[in-house]
Amino acid sequence: MKPGYHDIYTRYRDNITRGVLKPGDKVPAIRVLAEELKVARKTVETAYAILTGEGYLVSQGARGTRVNPDLLLPGHDAPAEQATGTLPESLISQRERSGFLRPGIPALDSFPYKKWLLLAGQATRSMRQEEMLNPPVLGWYPLRQAIARYLNISRGLSCTAEQVLITSGYSGSLRLILDTLASRSDKVVFEDPGYFMGQQLLKRIVPRLHTVPVDRSGMDTGYLLRHHHDARFAIVTPSHQSPLAVTLSLPRKQQLLDWASQNEAWIIEDDYDGEFHYTRKVLPSLKSLDQHDRVIFMGTFSKTIMPSLRMGYVVMPASTVAAFTDCADIVTSGQPVLTQKILTTFLNEGHFFRHLKKMRALYQIRRDWMIAALQEVYGDLFFTEQNDGGMHIVAFLSKGSGDREVARCWQQHQLQVNALSEWYRGSGKRYGLVMGYNNVRTYQEALNLLEGPKQQTLELLG
Ligand SMILES: Cc1ncc(COP(=O)(O)O)c(C=O)c1O
């Protein structure tokens, strides 16, 4: 049944009072809404006249009709705040909270935005009609080629563009790998401690999830062989273990590869920040040592470019390309072509390499500042262990196990650090704070940030 003027009036009034429509929001022109609802113009005109008379709408001549910007509704924030579109803190996920020292965020002050915007403009203008159809599910081919070239040169892989598959990042990659290759009875092993978001995701989707402890040489492959020889998947961060930032030793790499080839198991290599080594050359990836094609390599542009890009990739073993293609066709819809085009030019014109080189030098300096500032502000309360790179440090507690309390306290000071113990599932927990340093612009800034929660931290750890 067609809505009458009263129905239209109540729809607007209710949406405005519930906050769905906010002060200042534009409403459709009378003619447009009448066409949309298939009613006479007069019907919409009458509804708008009542809403205007009651102060819900205002007509602003050529600028159209809007929800009254001065409208104050009981139980809602002031109009100016509503118009910014900010969500209440309780509805913002942990990952989205703003703050300092969040692990894994690249230096936002040093990204070549001008260049990126220029490329974005070019890519937008060059969009052809056929590129506005559904994107290819495995990714835009020129980007797959650019990534294959980058991986072959920089990460020591030997893969073709046909093996590269573009995803939306970590969870998109991992889900697609497991959807394609795993059955529900397969045992999957993960590092302990391990990437917190990864654990949360895997707990939801993998019925037989087990963990393998990590020590200073990375995942304990001896433990894997003794306890989980029958696993079908091992998910590892060999370049920089997440979160301990240690590197998987060469003998263990070999042991892991041998295990996978003898048991026809898969190793998922999560190379999330393998580009960032500071004191030596970038390490060859585990995949580059893989003679039997048992390693599925996954990477992301979240650390090298920006997390909001939502671009990651998987290198599919040659024998699995057909299976991935079938599965991707059903479970994904591909990634936005426009973003893939911008990224392709960024890679092909050398901006990516230049940016990485600059960031390696910058991160080394910022990391040193952070470690020195920790020592200066907290003396021996925390210690760090020597490791070569990555995008975060772990400040271990010298004594006690109160890292959760300390992390909560720092979070109240807008320092978005994580408690290390929360990343463990089994025994053998260590305690400390996982913190990023890439956005600390000066040594003084590092000192100031750390001074904030000092008093309370001393009380908690004293
Ligand atoms: C261990 C690990 N893997 C992968 C990622 C990348 O995630 P995404 O590509 O979804 O941004 C991160 C990001 O923090 C990470 O810490």
Q: What is the pLDDT of residues 111-121, one digit of tens each?
A: 999 999 999 99
416 Cβ closer than 6 Å to some ligand 1 atom: no
CA geometry: angle 237, 243, 441, nearest 5 deg: 115
pLDDT of residue 462: 81
**Quick one: which H or E segment has residue 446?**
helix 443-451
Task: In the chain, list all ranges with CATH 3.40.640.10.
Answer: 113-349
Name the phi and psi angles at 67, rounded to 5: -70, 135
Task: In the chain, list all ranges with CATH 3.90.1150.10.
Answer: 354-461
* CA 171 to ligand 1: nearest atom: 10
pTM of this structure: 0.88
317 Cβ closer than 6 Å to some ligand 1 atom: no
Distance 104 CA to ligand 1 centre (A): 8
Nearest CA to ligand 1 atom 11: 302
**What angle do helix axes 351-378 and 454-461 make, rounded to 10 degrees?**
60
Nearest CA to ligand 1 atom 13: 104
Nearest CA to ligand 1 atom 2: 272
Distance 181 CA to ligand 1 centre (A): 21
102 DSSP assignment: -
Distances (CA, A) of 324 to 165, 167, 173, 335, 407: 9, 12, 11, 16, 41
Name the phi and psi angles at 188, rounded to 5: -120, 130
> In the structure encoding, which two tokens stand for residue 258, read together?
């041998």
**113-349 carries CATH number 3.40.470.10:** no
Distance 300 CA to ligand 1 centre (A): 7
The architecture in CATH of the region 354-461 reads: Alpha-Beta Complex (3.90)
What string of H, E and C letters represents the secondary structure of 238-275? CCCCCCCCCCCCHHHHHHHHHHHHHHCCEEEEECCCCC
- List residues bridging with 397 in a β-sheet: 382
300 Cβ closer than 6 Å to some ligand 1 atom: yes
193 Cβ closer than 6 Å to some ligand 1 atom: no
424 Cβ closer than 6 Å to some ligand 1 atom: no
Whether residue 158 contacts residue 148, with contact meaning beta carbons closer than 8 Å, is answered with no
* CA 172 to ligand 1: nearest atom: 10
> In the structure encoding, which two tokens stand for residue 122, read together?
């070019």
307 Cβ closer than 6 Å to some ligand 1 atom: yes
Residues of the chain with pLDDT under 70: 74-92, 94-98, 280-282
135 DSSP assignment: P
Fold adopted by 5-86: Arc Repressor Mutant, subunit A (1.10.10)
21 vs 67: CA distance, rounded Å: 7
pLDDT of residue 71: 86
Q: Which of 271, 300, 314, 391 to mutate to test the pocket of ligand 1 (most atoms within 8 A of CB)?
A: 300
pLDDT of residue 420: 97
Name the phi and psi angles at 344, rounded to 5: -60, -45
Tens-place pLDDT, residues 324-348: 999 999 999 999 999 999 999 999 9
Whether residue 150 contacts residue 350, with contact meaning beta carbons closer than 8 Å, is answered with no
175 Cβ closer than 6 Å to some ligand 1 atom: no
272 Cβ closer than 6 Å to some ligand 1 atom: yes
**Could you tell me where the DSSP H helices lie in 311-415?**
321-331, 337-348, 351-378, 403-412
Q: What is the biggest distance separating any 2 CA atoms in the chain, rounded to whole angstroms?
A: 80
> Which strand ranges, in their side-by-side order, compose the sheet holding 392-397?
382-383, 392-397, 432-436, 418-419
pLDDT of residue 404: 97
Distances (CA, A) of 132 to 126, 141, 218, 333, 383: 11, 15, 45, 13, 53
Task: In the chain, list all ranges with CATH 1.10.10.10.
Answer: 5-86
